[in-house]
Structure 1
Amino acid sequence: MLQQIRKLFDQIGRGQSVEVHPEKDVRMISAALLAEIATADHKVDERETVALKNLLQAHYQLDSASAQELVERALAERQEATSLYEFTQTVNSNFSERDKYLLVKQMWQVAYADGEIDAFEEHLIRRVADLIYLPHGLFTRARAEARDESE
């Protein structure tokens, strides 16, 4: 999945004509960022992967099998990511401020799914929020709402 994103960027950089499916690309990037949160603490907790699947399924109105496939691809290929910038650049180009807020809230929801926030998870969410230029007020609101929903 992440390899496909890199390939797309390479093709665009070389001026090749490519067929872009923004909805699919946005789904892949969202799944990749949420998968990073699910694995930021260097362990894959079943509660986090279930939350990840449920969030993707609800947000993108996917059937259960499609959401599960997206999660599995994101988790399997997450090691190939070289930089958050390649993902956050696409988020900045394709997401409204509301969509960015929802993405950060979903990141917090995945992080809270196992009942604890690891320092790596918090750092990664903060870094993504900064890179997508989410105002601090919306960042703290997303965290508070995710925390309240997890209790």
Structure 2
Amino acid sequence: MLQHIRKLFDQIGRGESVEVHPEKDVRMISAALMAEIATADQKIDDRERSTLLQLLMSHYQLDQETAQAMVERALSERNEATSLYEFTQTVNDHFSERDKYLLVKQMWQVAFADGEIDAFEEHLIRRVAELIYLPHGLFTRARAEARDIDLPDRDQ
């Protein structure tokens, strides 16, 4: 997945024609990182999947079918990822600080969806935040805000 995204941005940078628009790439970046959180503990809870889907739909104004296809693609292609650094470098190149904050907050929302934070989930979010140079204050604020959001699926 990460190789595919990097290839798309390399093509865009060289001015080559690609079959997707940069906006779609940004959405796939978000979907891929949130899918990594959802599967960080080696299992994906229905609440995590539902939260991931809801976040993509609300943040990018996607219909359910499009968001579901993105989630499925992100989950199925996650094993192709080679380097978190290469991926986060793309985030650094194309996301504002506000977008980085929102991405980390969404990652926390996915992690909190099942009611517990796995050590692997926390480590991955912390690592992504460091690699995208999100200030620690924004990292902790994103966590606190995500924790305080009342998700309908969380208490099931």
TM-score between both structures, scaled by the size of structure 2: 0.88
Q: 2:136 corresponds to which letter in structure 1? A: H
Unmatched runs of 5 consecutive residues or more in structure 2 = 152-156
Does the C-alpha gap of structure 1 residues 16 and 23 become closer, same or farther in structure 2, counting only changes over 3 Å?
closer
- The alignment of Structure 1 onto Structure 2 pairs a total of residues equal to 150
Taking the TM superposition and a 5 Å limit, the aligned residue runs for 1:98-109 are 98-109=98-109
Aligned to 1:111: 111
Q: Is the 8 A contact 1:102 1:142 kept in 2?
A: yes
Taking the TM superposition and a 5 Å limit, the aligned residue runs for 1:12-27 are 17-19=16-18, 21-27=21-27
Alignment RMSD (CA, Å): 1.9
Aligned to 2:95: 95
1:20-79 deviation per Cα after TM superposition (whole angstroms, max 9, x unaligned)? 622111111110000000000000111000000000110000001000000000001101
1:69-123 deviation per Cα after TM superposition (whole angstroms, max 9, x unaligned)? 0000000110110011122111111111111000000000000000000000000
- Aligned counterparts of 1:36 and 1:137: Cα–Cα separation in 2: 23
Q: 1:142 corresponds to which letter in structure 2? A: A
Q: 1:17 corresponds to which letter in structure 2? A: E
Unmatched runs of 5 consecutive residues or more in structure 1 = none
- Aligned counterparts of 1:43 and 1:137: Cα–Cα separation in 2: 30
Does the C-alpha gap of structure 1 residues 34 and 147 become closer, same or farther in structure 2, counting only changes over 3 Å?
same
Aligned to 1:47: 47
Does the C-alpha gap of structure 1 residues 96 and 127 become closer, same or farther in structure 2, counting only changes over 3 Å?
same
Q: 2:28 corresponds to which letter in structure 1? A: M
Give the C-alpha shift of residue 5 in structure 1. Answer: 1.8
TM-score between both structures, scaled by the size of structure 1: 0.91
